Amino acid sequence: MGHNPPSSGSWISGLLGGETDHAQTVRRDLAASEHKYFFAINLYNSFDVIPDLFAALFRVAAILGYHNVFVSIYENGSSDQTKALLRIFDALTRSVGMRVMIRTSMRTRGAFNHRIEYLAEVRNSAFVPLHELRDSEGEYFDSIIFMNDILPCVDDLLELIWQSRRNNAGITCAADYMYHEEIQSPVFYDNWVARDINGTALENAPFERIFHHLESSQRWQRHLPIQVQSCWNGIAVLDPAPFYSPPHVRFRMAKITEGECSASECSLICNDYWEAGYGRIMMVPRVKLAYDSVRTPPFSFIIVKYLTISTESIQYCPPFAAKPYCYSRLRPPRRLA
Protein backbone atom coordinates (compact mmCIF):
# COMPACT_ATOMS: atom_id res chain seq x y z
CA MET A 1 0.00 0.00 0.00
CA GLY A 2 1.06 3.58 -0.49
CA HIS A 3 3.22 5.34 -3.00
CA ASN A 4 6.15 3.44 -4.52
CA PRO A 5 8.74 5.89 -5.81
CA PRO A 6 10.35 5.05 -9.15
CA SER A 7 13.57 3.13 -8.96
CA SER A 8 16.68 5.25 -9.20
CA GLY A 9 18.75 2.30 -10.40
CA SER A 10 20.02 1.99 -13.95
CA TRP A 11 19.13 -0.73 -16.45
CA ILE A 12 22.32 -2.45 -15.35
CA SER A 13 21.11 -2.76 -11.76
CA GLY A 14 17.91 -4.29 -13.11
CA LEU A 15 19.87 -6.80 -15.13
CA LEU A 16 22.03 -7.68 -12.14
CA GLY A 17 19.23 -7.82 -9.60
CA GLY A 18 19.62 -11.57 -9.06
CA GLU A 19 23.34 -11.07 -8.60
CA THR A 20 22.75 -8.46 -5.93
CA ASP A 21 20.44 -10.79 -4.00
CA HIS A 22 22.95 -13.62 -4.29
CA ALA A 23 25.85 -11.43 -3.17
CA GLN A 24 23.85 -10.37 -0.14
CA THR A 25 23.13 -14.03 0.66
CA VAL A 26 26.82 -14.90 0.40
CA ARG A 27 27.82 -12.02 2.66
CA ARG A 28 25.15 -12.89 5.22
CA ASP A 29 26.16 -16.57 5.28
CA LEU A 30 29.85 -15.83 5.70
CA ALA A 31 29.41 -13.06 8.24
CA ALA A 32 27.29 -15.23 10.51
CA SER A 33 30.00 -17.71 11.48
CA GLU A 34 33.19 -17.95 13.52
CA HIS A 35 34.98 -19.71 10.68
CA LYS A 36 38.71 -18.85 10.67
CA TYR A 37 40.54 -17.89 7.48
CA PHE A 38 44.26 -17.99 6.70
CA PHE A 39 45.22 -15.85 3.68
CA ALA A 40 48.58 -16.76 2.12
CA ILE A 41 50.00 -14.38 -0.49
CA ASN A 42 53.21 -14.39 -2.53
CA LEU A 43 54.35 -11.08 -3.98
CA TYR A 44 57.13 -10.17 -6.39
CA ASN A 45 57.38 -6.76 -8.09
CA SER A 46 53.70 -6.27 -7.26
CA PHE A 47 53.61 -2.49 -6.77
CA ASP A 48 50.87 -2.02 -9.40
CA VAL A 49 48.42 -4.55 -7.97
CA ILE A 50 48.98 -4.05 -4.23
CA PRO A 51 46.55 -1.11 -3.76
CA ASP A 52 43.64 -3.01 -5.33
CA LEU A 53 44.62 -6.28 -3.68
CA PHE A 54 44.83 -4.74 -0.22
CA ALA A 55 41.62 -2.76 -0.65
CA ALA A 56 39.80 -6.00 -1.43
CA LEU A 57 41.42 -7.74 1.54
CA PHE A 58 40.29 -5.03 3.96
CA ARG A 59 36.70 -5.20 2.76
CA VAL A 60 36.61 -9.01 2.76
CA ALA A 61 38.08 -9.16 6.27
CA ALA A 62 35.50 -6.66 7.49
CA ILE A 63 32.74 -9.02 6.32
CA LEU A 64 34.37 -12.21 7.59
CA GLY A 65 35.36 -10.53 10.85
CA TYR A 66 38.82 -9.12 11.44
CA HIS A 67 39.23 -11.48 14.38
CA ASN A 68 38.62 -14.46 12.05
CA VAL A 69 41.31 -13.46 9.53
CA PHE A 70 45.07 -13.92 9.49
CA VAL A 71 47.10 -12.67 6.51
CA SER A 72 50.53 -14.11 5.74
CA ILE A 73 52.55 -12.37 3.01
CA TYR A 74 55.88 -13.55 1.71
CA GLU A 75 57.67 -11.17 -0.65
CA ASN A 76 61.05 -11.82 -2.15
CA GLY A 77 63.38 -10.33 -4.70
CA SER A 78 61.31 -7.30 -5.71
CA SER A 79 63.15 -4.46 -7.44
CA ASP A 80 60.24 -1.98 -7.38
CA GLN A 81 58.58 -0.35 -4.34
CA THR A 82 56.68 -3.45 -3.24
CA LYS A 83 58.48 -3.61 0.12
CA ALA A 84 57.64 0.04 0.88
CA LEU A 85 53.94 -0.50 0.19
CA LEU A 86 53.98 -3.58 2.40
CA ARG A 87 55.19 -1.48 5.33
CA ILE A 88 52.20 0.83 4.86
CA PHE A 89 49.82 -2.13 4.64
CA ASP A 90 51.30 -3.61 7.81
CA ALA A 91 50.54 -0.43 9.75
CA LEU A 92 47.01 -0.14 8.33
CA THR A 93 46.04 -3.71 9.13
CA ARG A 94 47.21 -3.43 12.71
CA SER A 95 45.21 -0.21 13.14
CA VAL A 96 41.94 -2.10 12.48
CA GLY A 97 42.90 -5.18 14.47
CA MET A 98 43.52 -7.50 11.52
CA ARG A 99 46.41 -9.86 12.14
CA VAL A 100 49.11 -9.85 9.50
CA MET A 101 52.61 -11.27 9.22
CA ILE A 102 54.77 -9.90 6.41
CA ARG A 103 58.10 -11.49 5.62
CA THR A 104 60.39 -10.03 2.99
CA SER A 105 63.58 -11.33 1.47
CA MET A 106 66.10 -10.33 -1.17
CA ARG A 107 66.29 -13.91 -2.36
CA THR A 108 65.82 -14.60 -6.05
CA ARG A 109 65.83 -17.83 -7.98
CA GLY A 110 69.40 -17.51 -9.17
CA ALA A 111 71.05 -19.51 -11.91
CA PHE A 112 71.23 -22.88 -10.19
CA ASN A 113 67.81 -23.35 -8.62
CA HIS A 114 65.30 -25.68 -10.25
CA ARG A 115 62.34 -23.47 -11.16
CA ILE A 116 59.65 -25.65 -9.55
CA GLU A 117 61.74 -26.35 -6.47
CA TYR A 118 62.24 -22.61 -6.04
CA LEU A 119 58.54 -21.78 -6.55
CA ALA A 120 57.54 -24.51 -4.09
CA GLU A 121 59.86 -23.05 -1.45
CA VAL A 122 58.46 -19.56 -2.02
CA ARG A 123 54.88 -20.80 -1.64
CA ASN A 124 55.75 -22.83 1.46
CA SER A 125 57.30 -19.71 2.99
CA ALA A 126 53.86 -18.07 3.00
CA PHE A 127 52.59 -21.04 5.03
CA VAL A 128 55.14 -20.75 7.84
CA PRO A 129 52.76 -18.86 10.20
CA LEU A 130 50.08 -21.53 9.69
CA HIS A 131 52.30 -24.07 11.40
CA GLU A 132 53.80 -21.63 13.90
CA LEU A 133 50.36 -20.66 15.20
CA ARG A 134 49.40 -24.31 15.50
CA ASP A 135 52.58 -25.24 17.39
CA SER A 136 52.87 -22.18 19.64
CA GLU A 137 49.24 -21.29 20.34
CA GLY A 138 47.22 -24.34 19.32
CA GLU A 139 45.39 -22.23 16.75
CA TYR A 140 43.87 -23.95 13.72
CA PHE A 141 42.23 -22.42 10.67
CA ASP A 142 39.16 -23.68 8.80
CA SER A 143 40.00 -22.37 5.32
CA ILE A 144 43.15 -21.34 3.50
CA ILE A 145 42.94 -18.76 0.72
CA PHE A 146 46.11 -18.71 -1.39
CA MET A 147 46.37 -15.68 -3.66
CA ASN A 148 48.72 -14.77 -6.46
CA ASP A 149 49.30 -11.16 -7.51
CA ILE A 150 45.86 -10.81 -9.06
CA LEU A 151 43.15 -8.14 -9.09
CA PRO A 152 40.21 -9.62 -7.15
CA CYS A 153 36.81 -8.10 -6.52
CA VAL A 154 35.40 -8.40 -3.02
CA ASP A 155 32.41 -10.46 -4.14
CA ASP A 156 34.69 -12.74 -6.18
CA LEU A 157 36.69 -13.63 -3.08
CA LEU A 158 33.54 -14.14 -1.04
CA GLU A 159 31.97 -16.27 -3.78
CA LEU A 160 34.96 -18.62 -3.87
CA ILE A 161 34.93 -19.01 -0.10
CA TRP A 162 31.17 -19.54 -0.09
CA GLN A 163 31.31 -22.13 -2.88
CA SER A 164 34.17 -23.93 -1.13
CA ARG A 165 32.17 -24.27 2.06
CA ARG A 166 28.86 -25.02 0.32
CA ASN A 167 30.36 -27.84 -1.73
CA ASN A 168 32.74 -29.13 0.96
CA ALA A 169 35.58 -28.85 -1.53
CA GLY A 170 39.22 -29.79 -1.03
CA ILE A 171 40.38 -27.05 -3.42
CA THR A 172 38.25 -24.34 -5.03
CA CYS A 173 39.62 -22.21 -7.87
CA ALA A 174 38.53 -19.23 -9.89
CA ALA A 175 39.11 -18.78 -13.63
CA ASP A 176 41.95 -16.48 -14.65
CA TYR A 177 42.19 -14.63 -17.95
CA MET A 178 44.69 -12.66 -19.97
CA TYR A 179 43.80 -10.34 -22.81
CA HIS A 180 44.81 -11.76 -26.20
CA GLU A 181 45.88 -8.93 -28.50
CA GLU A 182 45.52 -10.86 -31.78
CA ILE A 183 41.93 -11.95 -31.29
CA GLN A 184 41.02 -8.89 -29.17
CA SER A 185 39.43 -11.01 -26.48
CA PRO A 186 40.21 -12.41 -23.03
CA VAL A 187 41.41 -16.02 -23.07
CA PHE A 188 41.77 -18.55 -20.28
CA TYR A 189 45.28 -18.35 -18.85
CA ASP A 190 46.55 -21.04 -16.46
CA ASN A 191 46.28 -24.19 -18.54
CA TRP A 192 49.68 -25.34 -17.30
CA VAL A 193 47.91 -26.44 -14.12
CA ALA A 194 44.22 -26.69 -15.00
CA ARG A 195 43.05 -30.16 -16.10
CA ASP A 196 39.50 -31.41 -16.56
CA ILE A 197 38.20 -34.47 -14.74
CA ASN A 198 39.72 -36.72 -17.44
CA GLY A 199 43.15 -35.13 -17.05
CA THR A 200 42.99 -33.15 -20.31
CA ALA A 201 44.52 -29.68 -20.34
CA LEU A 202 42.16 -26.75 -20.69
CA GLU A 203 42.62 -24.47 -23.69
CA ASN A 204 44.04 -20.96 -23.83
CA ALA A 205 40.84 -19.91 -25.56
CA PRO A 206 37.82 -17.64 -25.11
CA PHE A 207 35.20 -18.57 -22.55
CA GLU A 208 33.10 -21.01 -24.59
CA ARG A 209 35.97 -23.16 -25.92
CA ILE A 210 38.03 -23.97 -22.84
CA PHE A 211 36.91 -27.52 -21.97
CA HIS A 212 37.14 -30.67 -24.12
CA HIS A 213 35.09 -32.72 -21.64
CA LEU A 214 31.48 -32.24 -22.84
CA GLU A 215 29.67 -32.24 -19.49
CA SER A 216 32.22 -29.85 -18.01
CA SER A 217 31.90 -27.56 -21.02
CA GLN A 218 28.13 -27.48 -20.65
CA ARG A 219 28.35 -26.62 -16.97
CA TRP A 220 31.06 -24.06 -17.68
CA GLN A 221 28.88 -22.20 -20.16
CA ARG A 222 26.06 -22.18 -17.59
CA HIS A 223 28.50 -20.72 -15.03
CA LEU A 224 28.05 -23.71 -12.73
CA PRO A 225 30.84 -25.17 -10.54
CA ILE A 226 32.80 -27.98 -12.17
CA GLN A 227 34.88 -30.76 -10.68
CA VAL A 228 38.36 -30.88 -12.20
CA GLN A 229 41.48 -32.92 -11.67
CA SER A 230 43.59 -29.86 -10.88
CA CYS A 231 43.48 -26.07 -10.97
CA TRP A 232 44.95 -22.96 -9.38
CA ASN A 233 44.06 -19.96 -11.55
CA GLY A 234 45.14 -17.03 -9.42
CA ILE A 235 43.23 -17.85 -6.23
CA ALA A 236 42.69 -21.22 -4.56
CA VAL A 237 40.63 -21.87 -1.44
CA LEU A 238 41.96 -24.98 0.31
CA ASP A 239 40.71 -27.27 3.02
CA PRO A 240 43.64 -27.09 5.48
CA ALA A 241 43.21 -30.64 6.79
CA PRO A 242 45.89 -32.16 4.49
CA PHE A 243 48.37 -29.57 5.81
CA TYR A 244 47.56 -30.36 9.43
CA SER A 245 47.29 -34.16 9.21
CA PRO A 246 49.96 -36.70 8.20
CA PRO A 247 51.54 -37.00 5.71
CA HIS A 248 51.33 -33.16 5.79
CA VAL A 249 51.14 -32.05 2.18
CA ARG A 250 53.27 -29.12 1.06
CA PHE A 251 54.30 -27.57 -2.21
CA ARG A 252 57.07 -29.58 -3.85
CA MET A 253 58.74 -30.53 -7.09
CA ALA A 254 58.09 -33.82 -8.86
CA LYS A 255 59.76 -37.01 -7.68
CA ILE A 256 61.32 -37.76 -11.04
CA THR A 257 63.42 -40.66 -9.73
CA GLU A 258 60.20 -42.37 -8.59
CA GLY A 259 58.63 -42.10 -12.03
CA GLU A 260 56.53 -39.04 -11.31
CA CYS A 261 55.97 -36.75 -14.26
CA SER A 262 57.41 -33.25 -14.15
CA ALA A 263 54.69 -30.74 -13.29
CA SER A 264 53.92 -27.46 -11.58
CA GLU A 265 54.03 -27.32 -7.80
CA CYS A 266 50.34 -26.36 -7.94
CA SER A 267 49.51 -29.40 -10.07
CA LEU A 268 51.37 -31.67 -7.68
CA ILE A 269 49.59 -30.36 -4.60
CA CYS A 270 46.28 -31.11 -6.34
CA ASN A 271 47.50 -34.67 -6.92
CA ASP A 272 48.51 -34.91 -3.27
CA TYR A 273 45.03 -33.76 -2.26
CA TRP A 274 43.58 -36.59 -4.36
CA GLU A 275 45.96 -39.03 -2.69
CA ALA A 276 44.95 -37.77 0.77
CA GLY A 277 41.25 -38.28 -0.02
CA TYR A 278 40.47 -34.63 -0.70
CA GLY A 279 39.90 -34.87 -4.46
CA ARG A 280 36.89 -32.59 -4.39
CA ILE A 281 38.64 -30.03 -6.58
CA MET A 282 36.39 -27.56 -8.34
CA MET A 283 36.41 -24.47 -10.52
CA VAL A 284 33.87 -21.68 -10.21
CA PRO A 285 33.53 -20.21 -13.72
CA ARG A 286 31.62 -17.08 -12.73
CA VAL A 287 34.63 -15.86 -10.73
CA LYS A 288 36.93 -14.40 -13.38
CA LEU A 289 40.27 -12.88 -12.46
CA ALA A 290 42.70 -10.58 -14.25
CA TYR A 291 46.37 -9.78 -13.69
CA ASP A 292 46.55 -6.51 -15.57
CA SER A 293 44.53 -3.40 -14.73
CA VAL A 294 45.70 -1.62 -17.87
CA ARG A 295 44.05 -3.98 -20.35
CA THR A 296 40.48 -4.02 -19.04
CA PRO A 297 38.37 -6.76 -20.65
CA PRO A 298 35.46 -5.70 -22.85
CA PHE A 299 32.26 -4.64 -21.09
CA SER A 300 30.39 -7.72 -22.34
CA PHE A 301 32.98 -9.99 -20.72
CA ILE A 302 32.50 -8.28 -17.36
CA ILE A 303 28.70 -8.49 -17.55
CA VAL A 304 28.48 -12.16 -18.54
CA LYS A 305 29.93 -13.36 -15.24
CA TYR A 306 26.78 -12.20 -13.45
CA LEU A 307 24.09 -13.71 -15.65
CA THR A 308 23.89 -17.09 -13.89
CA ILE A 309 23.93 -17.50 -10.13
CA SER A 310 25.81 -20.72 -9.37
CA THR A 311 23.85 -22.05 -6.40
CA GLU A 312 23.57 -25.58 -7.77
CA SER A 313 25.71 -27.97 -5.73
CA ILE A 314 28.25 -30.13 -7.48
CA GLN A 315 28.22 -33.95 -7.68
CA TYR A 316 31.72 -35.27 -7.20
CA CYS A 317 33.58 -38.23 -8.59
CA PRO A 318 35.14 -40.47 -5.94
CA PRO A 319 38.95 -40.45 -5.66
CA PHE A 320 40.97 -41.99 -8.46
CA ALA A 321 42.38 -45.45 -7.77
CA ALA A 322 45.87 -44.10 -8.45
CA LYS A 323 47.36 -40.63 -8.47
CA PRO A 324 46.94 -39.13 -11.97
CA TYR A 325 50.42 -37.61 -12.03
CA CYS A 326 50.77 -37.68 -15.79
CA TYR A 327 47.27 -36.42 -16.44
CA SER A 328 46.19 -39.59 -18.17
CA ARG A 329 42.99 -39.80 -20.17
CA LEU A 330 41.63 -42.65 -18.07
CA ARG A 331 37.92 -42.40 -17.53
CA PRO A 332 37.03 -41.40 -13.96
CA PRO A 333 34.97 -43.73 -11.77
CA ARG A 334 31.19 -43.43 -11.71
CA ARG A 335 29.79 -40.35 -10.07
CA LEU A 336 28.71 -40.37 -6.46
CA ALA A 337 25.02 -39.96 -5.79
Instruction: Supply the pTM of this predicted model.
Output: 0.85
Q: Which residues contact 174 (CB under 8 A, 6 or more apart)?
A: 156, 160, 233, 234, 235, 283, 284, 287, 288, 289
Cα distance between residue 171 and residue 232, in whole Å: 9
User: Is a pLDDT exceeding 70 seen at residue 13?
Assistant: no
Give residue 247's pLDDT: 86
Question: Residue 245 half-sphere exposure, CB side, CA atoms within 13 Å?
Answer: 10
User: Is a pLDDT exceeding 70 seen at residue 158?
Assistant: yes
User: Is a pLDDT exceeding 80 seen at residue 4?
Assistant: no
- For 54-105, write each residue's pLDDT tens digit: 999 999 999 999 999 999 999 999 999 999 999 999 999 888 889 999 999 9
pLDDT greater at residue 256 or residue 296: 256
Beta bridge partners of 41: 73, 147
Q: Average pLDDT over the chain, rounded to whole? A: 83
Alpha-helix runs per DSSP H in 109-264: 115-126, 128-137, 154-166, 214-221, 241-244
Q: Tell me which of 22-26, 168-172, 318-322 is least confident.
A: 318-322
- For 129-149, write each residue's pLDDT tens digit: 999 999 999 999 999 999 988
Dihedrals phi, psi of 65, to nearest 5 degrees: 105, 115
User: Is a pLDDT exceeding 50 seen at residue 265?
Assistant: yes
- Are 174 and 261 contacting, i.e. CB atoms less than 8 angstroms apart? no
Nearest residue to 173 via CA among 96, 230, 243? 230
